[in-house]
Amino acid sequence: MRESVVITVPSHPKYLSVIRATTITFGKLYGIREAELEDIKLAIDEACANVIKHAYKGDTTKKFIVKYKIEKNVFTIIIEDNGLKADIEFIQGRDLNDIRPGGLGIHFIRKVFDGFRFDDHKKKGNRLILTKYLHGNQ
Amino acid sequence: MNIEIGEYKGKKIIALSGDIDMYSSPELREKIMALIKKRIHTLCVDFNKVSYIDSSGIATFVEGLKGMKSFGGRLQFFGVPPRIMDIFNFSKLDRVFEIYGNIEDAISS
C-alpha cells in the first residue's frame, strides 16, 4: 500500500481507544468531515471489537493489524487477524426491531462502508476489507 | 470512562463521562446491575459528558433496561449529546429508552 498507515494492535479492549484516535487523525489529514469521520470511527471500532470478541474469543494476548489508505476518493481499511474465521452470525447481526443486547456492531459497519468483504485468499485468520467512497471531501 | 453515582431530589443519578466502549462497559454493567439488585426504582443516567458509545455500551443499557423492567423500575437518560442520539435513533433504541433533555425533566416525569 502506497501512502498508507499501518498499526499493529494488541487484542486487548483498552487499545480500541488507540484505533479510534488513529482513525480520527488519519481522516482529518484527508479533510473528511467530522460527522462522517465519527461514523467511520465507530464502524472501525466495531470491526476491531469483533476481532477481539469473535476471532480471538477474548484472548487479550494476540495482535491484529489495521491498515488505512485513501486513494482516488476511496477510503480503504484492512483489518487482519490470525484468529478463528468469521461466522455467519457475525456477518448478519440482529434484526434492529428485535431489541436485545448485542448484534448491533455489524449494522454500524454496513451503514458506513460501501464495501464489506472478507478476503478468501487469507488461509489462516481473517482479512476484512472495508471501502468507502468519499464525496465532497479532500 | 468515569462513573459517579449520586442522588438528586431523591433519585439515583449515574453521571458518566468519557468513552463507553468494550473496555469500559463491563465496569458500567457491574454498577448498574448492583443497583438493579437493590431494586432502586428509578435510575437516571446523565449523558452530558459522554463522548462516545459503541455497541457494547448500548448492550449494557439494553440489559439494564430489561433488569429494571423486571421489577417495574425505570431507567432514564438525560443530556444525551446529538451524536449519541443519532446512534440511538439508528439502533431504534430511542423507542425503548426514556430520554429527557435535562435532569429536571427526567425526575419530574
Among partner residues B23, B59, B92, which is closest to A13 by beta-carbon distance?
A: B23
A34 in contact with B at a CB cutoff of 8 Å? no
> Which of A12, A16, A18, A51 is the best mutation test for B, with the most CBs of B within 10 A?
A16
Q: Is A16 in Cβ contact with B60 (below 8 Å)?
A: no
Q: What is the mean pLDDT of residues A75-97?
A: 81
Nearest CA in chain A to B29: A101
The answer, yes or no, to whether residue B94 has pLDDT greater than 90, is: no
Residue B75 has a pLDDT of 96
- Contact assessment for residue A124 and residue A82, using Cβ atoms and an 8 Å cutoff: yes
Q: Is A17 in Cβ contact with B19 (below 8 Å)?
A: yes
pLDDT band at A100 (very low <50, low <70, confident <90, very high): low
Domain ranges of chain B: 2-104
Measured between beta carbons, the chain A residues lying within 8 angstroms of B87 are: 42, 108
Say whether pTM exceeds 0.90.
Answer: yes
Residue B57 has a pLDDT of 95
The most distant pair of C-alpha atoms in chain B lies apart, rounded to whole Å, by: 34
pLDDT band at A90 (very low <50, low <70, confident <90, very high): low
> Which distant-in-sequence residues (6+ apart) come within 8 Å of A98 by Cβ?
none
Residue B15 has a pLDDT of 98
* H or E element that contains A37: helix A34-50
B90 in contact with A at a CB cutoff of 8 Å? yes
What is the per-residue pLDDT across A20-30, written as a single tens digit (0 to 9) for each?
A: 999 999 999 99
Residue A86 has a pLDDT of 86
- Fold of the CATH domain B2-104: Transcription Regulator spoIIAA (3.30.750)
pLDDT band at A88 (very low <50, low <70, confident <90, very high): low
Domain ranges of chain A: 4-133
- What does pLDDT average to over chain A? 89
Q: Does domain A4-133 have CATH number 1.10.1740.10?
A: no
Sign of CA dihedral B99, A103, A98, A111: positive
pLDDT band at A136 (very low <50, low <70, confident <90, very high): low
Grid cell of B17 as nine digits: 463521562
Residue A99 has a pLDDT of 62
Q: Is B91 in Cβ contact with A17 (below 8 Å)?
A: no
Q: What is the mean pLDDT of residues B27-38?
A: 96
Measured between beta carbons, the chain A residues lying within 8 angstroms of B63 are: 101
Instruction: Report H helices in chain B.
Output: 25-37, 55-69, 82-90, 103-107
Give the rounded distance of the alpha carbon of B87 from its chain centre.
14
